[in-house]
Structure 1
Amino acid sequence: MDTSHLAEHAGAAGSFFASIFVVATLSMRTMIPLRVFAILTNIVLITTAIPIHNYPTLVLHTVLLPLNVYRLHQMLQLVRNVKKSVNSDLSMEWLKPFMTERRCKAGEVLFYKDEKAESMYYIVSGRYRLVESGIELPVGAIVGEFGMLSPSNVRTQTLECTADGLILSVSYDQVEQLYVQNPAFGFYFLRLVSARLFENIGRLEERLALETVKAPAAAPSPA
C-alpha cells in the first residue's frame, strides 16, 4: 500500500475520531470537560491534517489548540484560587479579572436600600460606608454579594462613598455564568460567601456585646 493510501486512511480515521470528540463536546454542560475534549479534537485534526496536506484544517486547529489550553488553565486556576480563599483569608481577589473599574466621588451613592441588586463590588481605594449600620468598609472588602443569594434580590443597606476612590464591579449574571461553566467554582463560591456571612455575624455580635457593656457604664447613678 503506497503512502497516498496510508494518508487517505489516516485522514478518514482522524475525521471519524474527531467527529466522536465533537459530538462528545456538544453533550458537555460544564466548561472543564468541554475544553478537554476540544483540545483532544484539535490534536486529532492537526495530526490527521498533516499527512493529507489539509492546510486550512491544520492552520485552524493550530490556532484553536493554544486558545483552548489557555481557557482550560484559566478555569482551573479560578477554582484553585476560590478554594484557597475559602481555606485562608476569605479574599475575593480572584474575581478581579472578571470585574470592571468604576471611579467614585465623595458623596456618591452606589446603591440604595431596597433597590434591586444586580452586582457586587470590590473596594480598591477610597472610603465607603453602609449608611443604615454605619459600618465603614476597608480597602479589599467585597460588598453586595448577599443580594445575589437573597430570595428577593434587593439591597439590605445603602452604600455611600465618603472619600474619592476606585471600585471594581461584577454582575451577578457573570458570576452565574462562571457557576454554570464550572460547578466546582459555584460550590467554593457558596462556601466563601457563607463563611463571610458568619464572619460578619460574629463582628456584629462583638459590637452588640461591646455596646451592652458600655450602656450600664454610661447610665447616670441614682442620686
Structure 2
Amino acid sequence: MIYIKKQPCPSCLENYKSKRISSFKHMSLEEPNVKQELRISLLIEQGYVCAYCGSKIDETESIIEHIKCRQNYPELQLEYTNLICSCRGGSNKRSSNPQYPLHCDAHKGADDIPISPLTENCQELFVYDENGEIHDNDNHDAKKTIEVLNLNNKILQNRRKAAIAAYKYLNESDVNWAEELQKIYDNQEHHFKEFCFVLEYYIRNYKLQHY
C-alpha cells in the first residue's frame, strides 16, 4: 500500500459538484470527460500505481475507487479525499479463468479497511520478505487490511517476488542504493516503479543495512 498525500480537489470535480444533479453514477454516464480528467488527476497523485497493491495502472486499466464505499457512505461519493485509483483486481481476467484470485477493490467490495492509503504511516505497517509475501507484523489492523484486499494471493506474491529479484542479486558494493531509492519514486513523468513501496522496503531492510 502506498501513502497518498492528497492534493487540492481538481477544478473538474469542484465544478461538477456545483451542478444541480451530481453523483458518481451521473458523472460516469453523463460526464465521462469529467470522470476521465478526475482519473488522470488521481493517477498523477499516486504515481500511476494501484494505491492498494502497487501494480502499474493507466487511464484505461484502472478504476476510480471509493475508500469508503458508495453503498454505505453515499455522502462521500464525490469527496476527493475518499477517491483513489485502483487496479481492476483480477476482475477482467475472471471471464477466461474463474479461479483467478480477486484482490484490491474487486475483493474489498463494500467492506471497510482499517488502514488506507491516506493513513500517514501506512507503508510502515506492512513488511515483505524476499519471496514477495506480505506480513502484518502482528498488527491487527494490518492483518485485516491484507485479508479484505486479499493482498497475499499467489499472483501478487509471485509478481512482488519477480520485482524484488531485479535487486536481489546485485552486488551491494557496485550499487548506490540511495540513488536506487530515488529512482523508484522518480516522478519526472509522474510514474513510479511498479511495487515501488515493496522495493523501497526491500532495499532499506535487505540491502542498505548491509551496505
Q: TM-score, normalised by structure 2?
A: 0.26
More strand by share: 1
Relative contact order (alpha carbons < 8 A, sep ≥ 6): 1 or 2 greater? Answer: 2
Q: TM-score, normalised by structure 1?
A: 0.25
Larger radius of gyration: 1
More helix by share: 1
